Structure 1
Amino acid sequence: MTTVASTRRSILGGLAGAGALALAACGVGGDAGGAGGQAQPAKVTQATTLTYWTNLSGADGSTMKALAEQYAKETPLVTVEQIQGINPYFDKVLSAAAAGTPPDVLGTRMPYVPFLAEQGIIADLSQKEVQQLGLRPEDFDANVWKSGEWKGKRFSIPMDLNGSMLFYNETAVRDLGGDPAKPPVTWLDWQDWATRLTKNDAHGTTFDNSGEALVIAFMSHMHQQGGKVFTADGKKVAFNTPQGVAAMTLLADVYQRAKHPIAYPQGQGAIDWYEQRKLASWLTGPFTLNRLAKPGNPAFDDIRITLPAQFDPKKPSWLMQGFQLTIPKQPKPDDAKRTAAFSLINYLFNKGFEWSLAGKLPVSKKVLASEQFQKSTDPVTKHLRMWEKHLPNATLIESHPRWVDAMNALHPELTKGVRKELSAQSAIQEAERAANAVLGQ
């Protein structure tokens, strides 16, 4: 089986050594960037060209592209050559690093940071460099700030947060005999909701039930019970427990009660059926607001959002992840590029409100507390306040250097469990076996 790790081993060669020499020349590296000293944003004084890559696509990518273009207009000494939605992401990033031509700034998902750090792709940032980014730990929620660390070192700067909430269509719920004022609170409520609101060609609820997204849904329901997917040392998985079986049992039961799989017409999916009032509720993230919360959308007036159904409503929990910015190691030091990279990251971070319009909850405390965000009448931003309201109840998604390989090993077995092709216990056992085989390589 070809994995991300095996692909990496075949192309990286001497990257780590070359990168270390360049970073030493630039003064990169050190502690995790704690408090102390005054944050002073780096100032661009020399003309240079920056390469900026991300894994963003759709409305996210379009918004980020526009922000980077605006930065270039406001910073005429810097030309930004960007690729939003680079694909296949890891292949392109690893190949560029191995060839000695990595981007100057790399955007990535929170769970990918440990992999990129372990492979020597991205630089760790010292306290001084965090100050040069114009950022302070106190600008962030403590847990969010910690999400940019790996093994005690800072490798990334958080930009936003997202995670699944329960979207429900008020009219659909009412038409199907439910009470929009009483969305599900507990797991039992969600199971009952799925049964009562599934009628004829309408379905009471859905969730991401395949691929990596299914693993994240499973992880979320594990976390609600205080469980974990990986052991503390990361050498094995840790979900073959009563909590893991309970999470698998819940998802499989909801899947059956809501009469899945849903027979979407070609080219359609959950978002289309939500708009058509054929889907009463949907466990999904704020990125869907890019479409649903636009005036003229069929569901515009019917969007309601609440916390996912909880294992214990007295201890509410939802799983958060997000987009982060990193600085890849370079084969040769270039102070002008490095300064411009810091400047771009500072600019993007401080454009948190504009970024929120793409359905992204800003991580900047200043932006969240601003009158611009709090009093915004933009429909997307107004709905985002649900995620802000429940930020104290958020738990960080688990990260692992073998994240992608682990997800690829886990989701086929969990899918069998959701579809009841295997019992919940058997699916958990098979998923454990498959994941441990990968982690042990």
Structure 2
Amino acid sequence: MTYPTDISPTDISRRRLLGLSLGLGAAAALGLAGCGGSDQPTASTGNGNGGKDYTGPKVQLNLWNGFTGGDGDIFKKLVDQFNGEHANIAISVATYKWEDYYAKLPGAVSSGNGPDVAVMHIDMLATFAARRVIQPIDDVASALGLSEADFATTVWKGGLYQGKRYGIPLDMHPVGLYYNKALLQKAGLDPNKPPQNRADLEAALAELKKAGIQGFWVSPFQFTGGMTAYSLVYQFGGALYNADATKATFNSDQAVEAVTWLTGLISAGHSPTNVGQDADYLALKSGKNAFNVNGIWQVNDLKKSPDVQWGVAPLPQIGTKKAVWANSHNFTIVQQRNVEQNKVSGAKVFINWLSQHSLDWAAGGQVPARNSVRDDPKFKDLAEMNTLAAELPDAAFPPAAPGIGDVTKLFYDAVNEAVLGKKQPKQALDDGVAKADKLLEDNRKKYGS
């Protein structure tokens, strides 16, 4: 889920489509009859040592990704470096907008024209694994000696589906709290001490209000009000789903309390009503909004605006525990009609290599998933990235259930209704859960799980 770092109107519109791959679960189910339906996928067999090295004949590998912003340039440079260091492996990169990429991939695999390697968001792994678009890669982890100890626990576990590993994590991208230092100073607050908890934030908002500043604009859209609400549900002790993702639970008492707190910022005068898409972030940049929950991908954009005095911090703990919305890019190996083991072996070498070189990838606006890379002094020098890396243990990923992105969209729809005042929070969430439970049942039939 990498987001363009430039902020043109075109890219603002694009970001609406680049969320949890929402609405694409159904697309993933199309064109997959030739991929084996709901049968369990099986790992490929053949020679190879799980990615330690490759000594076979030269192979040409196709890689698909959705890095359409500045991060795409960084990714391509890394691929070029890999190609230069491996005479017998050549990687060709094809880049699509994420929504097009996920829609195209199933049909391409079904027709035998899919890529060899694919970058995939963590919340899409289960969907494509269930439909045999991607294959298990447990042998990569075992051969390289990789385990949970090598990665952030939340990200590592997110790559599993039905006990098999389908993704090797590259990064994590959370939301954080951006703050306008000039506005804090105007309200008599310390511009270098952002709020860390509910009391701090509410006290700061009160002072900002006295200074005539609406300090926390609440967006009704997934970007970023929905992500804020998502984080708060988990902070208040709730969850969007039960343990096995058979029922939606985002209308629990904790979830209602979380969304009620968020919408209360509007009624208390800390936010305008009916905030437009991305208006919360643009208001932060223009000196109208003091606090904005937004993704790590905005760091590089703000660095392009030297006149803006800003900072970023981990999300304040508003509820009873720390939690934060996040997503992660994972490397996967795509199923093929005719498996060429040399290609599979070469793909594993590439995945391992790029995971080890993810410090360079961090410059694109990501937190490396690999512990050794985050411990590198050079990563510590990336101040803002390092600050948000502290949120890794608190990442609240969706469960590994096929089609879960489509269901999560119903939560964002409910938040939209509550923020816009169309329904009270409890009613909006109750209505959303009723729809979500029906969709979860439909997904179990569709995906055979």
Q: Which structure 1 segments of 5+ residues have no match?
A: 29-37
Q: Secondary structure at the match of 2:288?
A: coil
**AA paired with 2:31?**
I
Distance 1:420 1:399, change over 3 A: farther
Aligned equivalent of 1:298: 307
- Return the letter of the residue paired with 2:198: W
Question: Which one of the candidate residues 282, 287, 290 is aligned to 1:280?
Answer: 290
Matched, 1:260 2:275: no
**Contact in 1 for aligned 2:359/2:368 (Cα 8 Å):** yes
Matches of residues 31-430 of structure 1 in structure 2 within 5 Å? 41-86=52-97, 87-126=99-138, 128-132=139-143, 135-187=146-198, 189-191=200-202, 193-194=204-205, 196-197=207-208, 203-206=214-217, 208-211=219-222, 214-256=225-267, 257-261=269-273, 269-294=279-304, 297-299=306-308, 302-312=309-319, 315-374=321-380, 376=381, 381-430=382-431
Contact 2:41 2:135 in 1 (8 A): no
Shift, 1:437, TM fit: 2.1
SS at match of 1:73: helix
CA contact (8 A) 1:111 1:398 kept: yes
- Deviation readout 1:311-346 (Å, 9 max, x if unpaired): 347x43334321111111111111221122112111
**Cα pair distance change 1:189/1:418, threshold 3 Å:** farther
Q: CA deviation at 1:51?
A: 1.0
Deviations 1:277-311 (A, max 9, x none): 222111112111121134x6322xx2222232323
| Greater Cα shift, 342-351 or 409-418 | 409-418
Alpha-carbon separation, structure 2, partners of 1:349 and 1:197: 43
Letter in 2 for 1:92: K
> Mind listing any 5+ residue stretches in structure 2 that lack a counterpart?
1-21, 443-449
CA–CA separation in structure 2 for the residues paired with 1:280 and 1:3: 32
TM-score by length of 1: 0.85
Letter in 2 for 1:247: A
Structure 2 distance, partners of 1:400, 1:297, is 43
* 1:335-365 deviation digits (Å, cap 9, x = unpaired): 2211221121112111121011111111111
Q: Is the 8 A contact 2:313 2:387 kept in 1?
A: yes
SS at match of 2:439: helix
Per-residue Cα deviation, 1:170-198 (whole angstroms, up to 9, x for no partner)? 11221244432453333354345445435
**Any idea what the Cα deviations from partners look like across 1:177-235, whole Å, max 9, x if unmatched?**
44324533333543454454358995412355313754433221111122111122212
Do the aligned partners of residues 339 and 307 (structure 1) sit closer, same or farther apart at CA in structure 2, a change above 3 Å counting? same
- Corresponding letter in the other structure for 1:116: F
The 8 Å contact of residues 172 and 369 in structure 2, kept in 1 or not, is answered as: yes
Matches of 1:59 and 1:102 in 2, distance apart?
25
Q: What whole-Å deviation, never above 9, does each CA across 1:404-423 have from its counterpart, x for those lacking one?
A: 21133332222011112101
Take 1:193 and 1:84, find their aligned partners in 2: how far apart are those partners?
43
Q: Is the 8 A contact 1:18 1:331 kept in 2?
A: no
Structure 1 287/246 Cα, relative in aligned 2: closer, same or farther at 3 Å? same
What is the TM-score of this pair, normalised by structure 2? Answer: 0.83
Tell me the amino acid that sits aligned with residue 238 of structure 2: G
Q: 1:49 touches 1:81 (CA, 8 Å); kept in 2?
A: yes
> How many Å separate the matches in 2 of 1:45 and 1:111?
34
Asked if residue 12 in structure 1 is aligned to residue 32 in structure 2, the reply is yes
Cα distance between partner residues in 1 of 2:441 and 2:215: 41
Considering only aligned residues, what root-mean-square deviation do their CA atoms show, in Å? 3.1
Q: Which residue of 2 aligns with 1:432?
A: 433
Deviations 1:22-70 (A, max 9, x none): 8544489xxxxxxxxx986132432121111123331222221221122
Change (3 A) 1:383 1:434: same
CA gap of 1:101–1:26, structure 2 versus 1, over 3 A, is farther
C-alpha contact 2:297 2:365 (8 A) present in aligned 1: yes
Contact 1:206/1:283 (8 A) holds in 2: no
Pick closer, same or farther for the CA change 1:228–1:19 going to 2, 3 Å: closer
What is the alpha-carbon distance in structure 1 between the residues aligned to residue 30 and residue 400 of structure 2?
24
Asked whether the 8 Å contact 2:177–2:293 carries over to 1, the reply is yes
